[in-house]
Amino acid sequence: MKGCHAAEYNALMKDGTWTLVPSVKNANVVDCKWVYRIKRDQHGAITRYKARLVAKGFNKQAGIDYNETFSPVVKATTPRGTLLYMLVYVDDIILTANSPTAIDRIVQHLSTTFALQDMGALSYFLGIEVNSKGPNILLS
């Protein structure tokens, strides 16, 4: 494994992202593969090297091999009159709230369990450039 991807692998292991378990007799075992990706900023400069272990679950049958599936969603929560939105896409997170201290508390709480990298104000996410114009946000 190349050095740039070794750091991502080590972070996955440190965070306990997955656990290797023995296979069960007569079980439909899911194969997997490592997928490598280079993350770039809005100018095309390399910002991070990513490695992800991806399950090849296309040969699974609902109700036999699995019972639940998950997809990325945005959910508003309102603890103690504060409005907070957390958008999670695999291992990327965007936080916005009507209280900067609420964001700081959430980031601090998450950092006790996960290795986080605060990228500052949102300017680029999943190939979308984000520009703040007063109270408005321009996506392109």
Residues 84 and 136 in one domain: yes
Which of these three, 69, 89, 124, is where a domain ends? 69
Helix ranges, 15-111 (H): 100-111
Give residue 97's pLDDT: 85
| Helices and strands (H, E) in the chain, number of each type | 2, 8
Q: Give kind and range of the element (H or E) at residue 5.
A: helix 3-14
- Whether 102 and 81 map to the same domain: the answer is yes
Domain boundary among 50, 69, 88: 69
Residue 37 to residues 24, 45, 111: CA-CA distances in angstroms?
32, 14, 24
Nearest to 42 by CA among 122, 120, 128: 128
Q: Do both 75 and 139 map to the same domain? A: yes
Give me 38's structure tokens.
């280079």
Residues 78 and 109 in one domain: yes
Per-residue pLDDT of the chain (140 residues; tens, 9 = 90+): 555 567 777 777 777 777 777 877 877 777 888 888 888 888 888 888 887 777 777 777 777 767 776 655 555 555 566 888 888 887 788 888 888 888 889 889 988 888 888 888 888 888 888 888 887 888 88
- Return the sign of the alpha-carbon dihedral for residues 36, 74, 115, 11: negative
Q: Which of 10, 40, 69 is the last residue of a domain?
A: 69
* 127, 61: one domain: no
Q: Tell me the residue range of the domain where 77 lies.
A: 70-140
Residues 35 and 4 in one domain: yes
Place of tokens 């009507």: 98
